[in-house]
Amino acid sequence: MTVTTRRVGGAPVILRALRGKDRTEWEALRAKNTEWLRPWEATSPEGLATQLGYRQLVRQFDREANEGRLQPFVIETEGRLVGQMHLFGIAWGSIRGASAGYWVDESVAGQGIMPLVLAAACDHAFIGLGLHRVEVNIRPENTASLRVIEKLGFRDEGLRLRYLHIDGEWRDHRSFALTTEDLGGSSVVERWNHRQHQSLQRHTEAGPL
């Protein structure tokens, strides 16, 4: 599955599967962002978990996707990888929901890529997969990710105490969600792009300082 969208005034952003030939670039990107991601990424409370090798990771992603439990994407723009976006914990039946998790290269943070990518993933969940709800859980200290959620109009559903093990401790998370009813017949990407167009128009009308 490949999802392509475009930043207002910027290059296309592509969500696609991680491939075997991405290994060198992906491993370099992960190594480069180790400290940047450490406060936010889940860890094992036993401290004994072994990291999957690259080939094992790709196979696991493919297997989980084929089973309908995961939609794993890398984020690509201007010909290079800049992060990952996953829809995980996909449940069907009477739930029809998923959680979203993501990270982005520190060098492109704040450029509007992450809100657009999350919006595109939500539209894929709602329109492509037929899900009803997408949930995102964020540490209260992660102000950058909280801004992403705010920009996209996610509903704050409260605090989950000691929700996830991260960096050696059980950490609290705030829970946010969108359902299809929240969109009023629009899409998340359309709402985000409309906001971006309005912002661009305001800057244009204000003129140079």
Q: Mind listing the pLDDT tens digit for each residue in 26-35?
A: 999 999 999 9
> If you average pLDDT over every residue of the chain, what do you get?
91
CATH of the domain at 186: 3.40.630.30
Number of domains in the chain: 1
200 has pLDDT over 70: no
Burial 65-99 (b: 16+ CB within 10 A, else e): beeeebbbbbbbbeeebbbbbbbeebeeeeebbbb
Q: Mind listing the pLDDT tens digit for each residue in 161-198?
A: 999 999 999 999 999 999 999 998 889 999 888 887 77
Please check whether residue 160 is in contact with residue 172, taking contact to mean a CB–CB distance below 8 angstroms.
yes
pLDDT band for position 205 (50/70/90)?
A: low
**For the residues 62-73, what does the mean pLDDT come to?**
95
pTM: 0.91
Q: What pLDDT is recorded for position 163?
A: 96
Q: What is the rounded distance in angstroms from the CA atom of residue 113 to the CA atom of residue 119?
A: 10
Structural domain containing residue 142: 3-206
